[in-house]
A and B are shown apart, each in its own frame.
Chain A
Amino acid sequence: MRFTNIASITKFEVGLLVLLATVTLVYAEQRPQQSKRAEPAPRSEPSRAPVQSSPVGVDRVNHGTLRHVDTQVVQRPVAVQHPVAVQRPVEVQHSAEVQHRFPNYGTVIRHVDPHVDIGRRQLWHGFVFGERLHGLRPGYIQLFLNGVPYCYDAGIYYQQVGNDYQEIYPPVGAYVQELPPGAIEIDAGNLIYYYACGAFYVQQDGGFVIVPTPIGVTVPELPPGAVQVSINGGLAYQFNGIYYQPVFMNGVTQYTTFIP
């Protein structure tokens, strides 16, 4: 190519420079993606970060085995009986002021590995039927059930006796917007229960209501304060009129509700 004057050379060079700059920029844009694909992902961070994007369908009861790495427990449908019909909460009122202060725990235990030993103690693990307190923690909830006033704090229900608050069994029909912290999900086949402090909650109307204890379900721990009894010569535990029979399930002791 022949250039006739300096102006045309300059414009050609400018065009060439623009071209080169564009190519460089486009490559620069592409390279990080290419190199990202080529490099293996760092093992520690991505693999240990919570997997949010992909569905997690594996629900192993036992870990630490390659032989049975694919063996999963399938929940058997439980023929649950209810000793009495499930009541809907007749009248439930929330103190808007205190309810607002109630913390949103949202700490439902959805999977319990029977071999893992980890402290999961919550306030309601210290429940003692009939125990009186001089005061409750800030943030408790006031509710009414069939016109009867109750106080509720993190899984424990109270009734006021004089100036004290007495711990009572979780009343059937009580409705709370958030589950007690550390409630354990119990899959009974067609119905999911949430178990805490000997109470069985089911989801209802955007919150959770206590239903009568289903008979025939198995829970991983006894209600706090359950009393050991002998039923027909066998060992059992009793809590709020319901009996719990110990049984080895998945290699550890669990408890199945029954009525003698």
Chain B
Amino acid sequence: MKQTLIISFVLLQFIVAGCKTAPEKPESKAMTLSPPAADVAKPAIEPQADELMRRMSDYLAQAQFFSVSAEVWQDVQLPSGQQVQAGRTVDVQVRRPNRFHAEVRSTRHNHGLYYDGTSITLLNRVKNFYGSIPAPSTLDEALDMASERFGITLPLEDLIVSDPYQNAIHKTISGRDFGPVTILGVPCEHLAFSLGTVDWQIWIEDGARPVPRKIVITYKDEEGSPEYTAILSNWDFQTELPDSVFNFEPPTGAAKIDVAEIKSKNQAHKKEGK
């Protein structure tokens, strides 16, 4: 009997010891057998998601001109830690290769932004101030210069670049197609991608006009993981956009003020190619 109890106790110790170390085994195995970091970082974008992104990109890139409106909602974390959303509307008009106009409106703000191929002009419609900076001759160069030297982000710039697919995908590490979803009554395909510290989602309209209907960017590397949401509507590829849409004319009584240059860093889109 004593022998039996001893055997049982020994068995018990072995099993308990095995159970306690069991969860660590996969980790230690992973440490020795995992592939090099470069292999792990390979893009893992589902073909269907990739194909839909290419279709959307081609459609926008081939459009010589278009107009679109967006309702933008952005999370804001208050000093108390509470998170709220702030909204604004954006109306954008683009004529490739070098014309852009946007109007950004909210309760207290009202800004115009003009790019005519030679300069970018900002207009504060509330204060009636405007300021101009010389700009390169293409949209891609102009929006890079505006962001990196002056801290100006052109609204919806990811949709107006010459190659929206490369622009969005080149830093993306994973992507999935989550299937059909309806956005404001429009059948769409829901795609979700990740840059690692930043996730983004896009809802692309089904059918012959694969335009984005909604975009969400989640900044996981910021406190509270705030989200930027743009719901897009009024896509118009028919109405021609004359020069007068993009040429800035100062409103009556407007005062010209300076546009301050800022310093920026981490211009990753240049390092990694477009």
Instruction: Name A residues whose Cβ lies closer than 8 Å to a Cβ of B.
Output: 1, 7-8, 11-12, 15-16, 18-19, 22-23, 26-27, 30, 33-34, 37, 47-51, 56-58, 60-76, 106-110, 113, 115-119, 182, 218, 235, 245-254, 256
Task: State whether the Cβ of B51 lies closer than 8 Å to any Cβ in chain A.
Answer: no
CA distance A68 to B230 in the complex (A): 17
Q: Which of B17-76 contact A (CB under 8 A)?
A: 19-20, 22-23, 72, 74, 76
Q: Which residues of A contact B98 (CB under 8 A)?
A: none
List 7 extra interface pairs beyond A69-B268, A70-B267, A72-B264, CB under 8 A. Answer: A48-B83, A50-B223, A51-B223, A61-B151, A64-B230, A107-B80, A247-B260
Out of A16, A66, A70, name the residue touching B8 (CB < 8 Å): A16
Q: Decide: A27 and B152 in contact? CB cutoff 8 A.
A: no
21 A-B interface contacts by CB (under 8 A) = A11-B5, A12-B1, A15-B4, A19-B12, A26-B16, A26-B20, A50-B223, A63-B217, A63-B228, A66-B195, A67-B143, A67-B158, A70-B269, A72-B264, A74-B264, A110-B79, A118-B76, A182-B79, A247-B131, A249-B262, A251-B151
In the assembled complex, how far is the CB of residue A231 from the closest CB belonging to chain B, in whole angstroms? Answer: 12
Q: Decide: B220 and A47 in contact? CB cutoff 8 A.
A: yes
Q: Which residues of B contact A60 (CB under 8 A)?
A: 219, 222
Q: Decide: A248 and B257 in contact? CB cutoff 8 A.
A: yes
Q: Which residues of B contact A109 (CB under 8 A)?
A: 79
Q: Decide: B264 and A247 in contact? CB cutoff 8 A.
A: no
CA distance A214 to B198 in the complex (A): 37
In the assembled complex, how far is the CB of residue A125 from the closest CB belonging to chain B, in whole angstroms? Answer: 12
B contacts with A: majority SS: mixed
Task: State whether the Cβ of B185 lies closer than 8 Å to any Cβ in chain A.
Answer: no
In the assembled complex, how far is the CB of residue B194 from the closest CB belonging to chain A, in whole angstroms? Answer: 11
Q: Decide: B4 and A218 in contact? CB cutoff 8 A.
A: no
Q: Decide: B200 and A66 in contact? CB cutoff 8 A.
A: yes
Interface string of B144-173 (1 = CB under 8 A from A): 100110111101111001000001100100
Q: Decide: B4 and A26 in contact? CB cutoff 8 A.
A: no
Q: Which residues of A contact B156 (CB under 8 A)?
A: 64
Q: Decide: A72 and B228 in contact? CB cutoff 8 A.
A: no
Q: Which of B215-260 contact A (CB under 8 A)?
A: 217-226, 228, 230, 255, 257-260
Out of B23, B197, B220, name the residue touching A33 (CB < 8 Å): B23
Out of A64, A182, A251, name the residue touching B72 (CB < 8 Å): A64
Out of A11, A64, A69, A110, name the residue touching B195 (CB < 8 Å): A69
Q: Decide: A70 and B268 in contact? CB cutoff 8 A.
A: yes
In the assembled complex, how far is the CB of residue A56 from the closest CB belonging to chain B, in whole angstroms? Answer: 4
Q: Which residues of B contact A118 (CB under 8 A)?
A: 76, 84, 86
Q: Decide: A12 and B8 in contact? CB cutoff 8 A.
A: yes
Q: Decide: A251 and B122 in contact? CB cutoff 8 A.
A: yes
CA distance A249 to B84 in the complex (A): 25
Out of A48, A65, A108, name the residue touching B79 (CB < 8 Å): A108
Instruction: Name B residues whose Cβ lies closer than 8 Å to a Cβ of A.
Output: 1, 4-5, 8-9, 11-12, 15-16, 19-20, 22-23, 72, 74, 76-81, 83-84, 86-88, 104, 106-109, 111, 113, 122, 124, 127, 129, 131, 143-144, 147-148, 150-153, 155-158, 161, 167-168, 171, 195, 197-198, 200, 217-226, 228, 230, 255, 257-260, 262-269
In the assembled complex, how far is the CB of residue B220 from the closest CB belonging to chain A, in whole angstroms? Answer: 6
Q: Which residues of A contact B260 (CB under 8 A)?
A: 218, 247-249, 254, 256
Q: Which residues of B contact A110 (CB under 8 A)?
A: 79
Q: Decide: B152 and A67 in contact? CB cutoff 8 A.
A: no
Out of A18, A62, A253, name the residue touching B257 (CB < 8 Å): A253
CA distance A249 to B263 in the complex (A): 11
Out of A34, A63, A246, name the residue touching B127 (CB < 8 Å): A246
Q: Which residues of B contact A218 (CB under 8 A)?
A: 260
Q: Which 7 A-B pairs have the closest CB atoms?
A: A250-B151, A117-B106, A62-B153, A15-B8, A251-B152, A70-B266, A70-B268
Which of chain A's residues has its CB closest to B257's CB? A246
Q: Decide: A74 and B195 in contact? CB cutoff 8 A.
A: no
Q: Which residues of A contact B74 (CB under 8 A)?
A: 63-64, 113, 115-116
CA distance A71 to B258 in the complex (A): 22
Q: Which residues of B contact A116 (CB under 8 A)?
A: 74, 76, 86
CA distance A57 to B18 in the complex (A): 42
Q: Decide: A117 and B109 in contact? CB cutoff 8 A.
A: yes
In the assembled complex, how far is the CB of residue B146 from the closest CB belonging to chain A, in whole angstroms? Answer: 8
CA distance A251 to B130 in the complex (A): 11
In the assembled complex, how far is the CB of residue B97 from the closest CB belonging to chain A, in whole angstroms? Answer: 17
CA distance A50 to B266 in the complex (A): 25
Q: Decide: B259 and A48 in contact? CB cutoff 8 A.
A: no
